[in-house]
Homo-oligomer: A and B are copies of this chain.
Amino acid sequence: MDNLDRLKALLRRQKLDALLVTQPDNRRYLSGYTAGDMNIGESSGVILVFRRGAPLLLTDFRYQLQAEREAAGFEVRLYQRGLFPLLKGILVERGVKSLGFESHYFLHQAAVKLQKLATEIRLELVPVTDLVERLRICKSPDELKKIRAAVRLNEAVFQEVYQQLQPGQSERQVALRIETLMREKGAERPSFETIVAAGPNGALPHAVPGERLIRESEPIVIDMGLVLDGYCSDMTRTVVLGRMDDLTRDRFRLVRKAQLAGMAAVKAGATGREVDRAARQVIAAAGYGPAFGHSLGHGVGLAVHEPPSLSMRYHRKLQAGMVVTVEPGIYLPEWGGIRLENMVVVTESDCEVLNEDVTFLDV
């Protein structure tokens, strides 16, 4: 059963006549249409999936040819004066009485307009969240193949840059080299802005690479991901050039121990919270609890951050076929940070680690 048929089955269960899909990854998952949104206010189109009958892709002039080429089985219709006038006609024509829309990717401003339209044509509007995400959460063999390829390419890029890493290079230069190599080697783009954070800058989990020159003996956090054939990778290594002092080594070992504990806790049936706790308590027991201020991991697929989450707030159970990161870290203002991140596939009994690269994992 293809993705569209699975969604239709879900619509029947939810008693929805149609779903308006605005989230770009969901749109791609269902239709094959690869255009992204420049931002949520500048959509490159929406799709309408009906419980019965052929789905539609609504877009504007700029994306017409791409939509027609890519979205097999979808009829492409163009709007000239915005989405809503076109949408109204279609909903009436197709006799839609209840329409789901993606509350987690729909602006308040647009929802006000949609509500007005719904009142005019006596349509029941149903905000949904994570409906298509629920289909996406477990990866098919074909998706896993693409994710594996993205991870392999990620590691090849990392290795090439790591081999050439020298004191005196700036964070910015290194990040630029990584992103250029990604594309030269065939990636569509980075899956997020590459982080290269040397020394004290590593204390910012989301540091922006700057003019700081990297030095010997300091931890250098390199967090990088790419998109290949639509699917994302995400990997962090922390490396040290030259001699590593004992304190740094101890901290590396602590973060690695937490990562191993986290990975050991991953299996179908474990909750995100349980896995997070398995890693977190290792760090807390060593007295570094407050230095690990983010969650342990997140799902990866068409989006680099997607459900499930490995965090204290995620009480649902993992299922086989989910792909998640396991990325504990400690961040100490003035000193710096260490983060180690792998991607794993959840299996019935445990997990399969997708990364083969072991740079500075066991120091």
Which residues in A have some Cβ–Cβ distance to B below 8 Å?
34-35, 38-42, 44, 60-63, 65-66, 81, 101, 103-112, 127, 129, 172, 176, 179-180, 183-184, 189, 192-193, 203-208, 293-294, 305, 313, 333
Known: A42-B305, A111-B111, A305-B42. A293 touches B104 (CB 8 A): no
Q: Is the CB of A206 within 8 A of B62?
A: yes
Q: Is the CB of B104 within 8 A of A104?
A: no
Q: Is the CB of A204 within 8 A of B66?
A: yes
Q: Is the CB of A204 within 8 A of B40?
A: no
Q: Is the CB of B103 within 8 A of A112?
A: yes
Q: Is the CB of B206 within 8 A of A63?
A: yes
Contact of A66 among B111, B129, B192, B206 (CB under 8 A): B206
CA distance in complex: A262, B227 (Å): 39
Contact of A203 among B65, B111, B208 (CB under 8 A): B65
Q: Is the CB of A62 within 8 A of B108?
A: no
Contacts of A106 in B (CB 8 A): 107-109
Q: Is the CB of A62 within 8 A of B294?
A: yes
Q: Is the CB of A107 within 8 A of B109?
A: no
Contact of A41 among B34, B44, B104, B189 (CB under 8 A): B104
A299 to chain B, nearest CB (A): 13
Chain B residue with the shortest CB-CB distance to A81: B313
Contact of A184 among B105, B176, B183 (CB under 8 A): B176
Besides A35-B206, A103-B109, 9 more A-B contacts (Cβ < 8 Å) are: A38-B192, A38-B305, A62-B294, A63-B206, A104-B109, A108-B127, A176-B183, A180-B180, A189-B193
Known: A107-B108, A127-B108, A192-B38. A62 touches B305 (CB 8 A): no
Q: Is the CB of B107 within 8 A of A104?
A: yes
Contacts of A109 in B (CB 8 A): 103-104, 106, 127, 129
A39 to chain B, nearest CB (A): 8
Q: Is the CB of B40 within 8 A of A40?
A: yes
A159 to chain B, nearest CB (A): 20
Q: Is the CB of B205 within 8 A of A61?
A: yes
Contacts of A65 in B (CB 8 A): 203-204, 333
A237 to chain B, nearest CB (A): 19
Contacts of A40 in B (CB 8 A): 39-40, 105
CA distance in complex: A166, B1 (Å): 47
CA distance in complex: A179, B63 (Å): 23
Q: Is the CB of B107 within 8 A of A105?
A: yes
CA distance in complex: A208, B66 (Å): 9
Contacts of A39 in B (CB 8 A): 40
Chain B residue with the shortest CB-CB distance to A39: B40
CA distance in complex: A192, B103 (Å): 26
Q: Which 3 A-B pairs have the closest CB atoms?
A: A61-B293, A62-B205, A103-B109
CA distance in complex: A204, B103 (Å): 30
Contacts of A110 in B (CB 8 A): 108
Contacts of A112 in B (CB 8 A): 103, 127
Contacts of A101 in B (CB 8 A): 108
A19 to chain B, nearest CB (A): 15
Contacts of A61 in B (CB 8 A): 205, 293-294
Interface-centre pick from A65, A81, A293 (highest chain B CB count, 10 A): A65
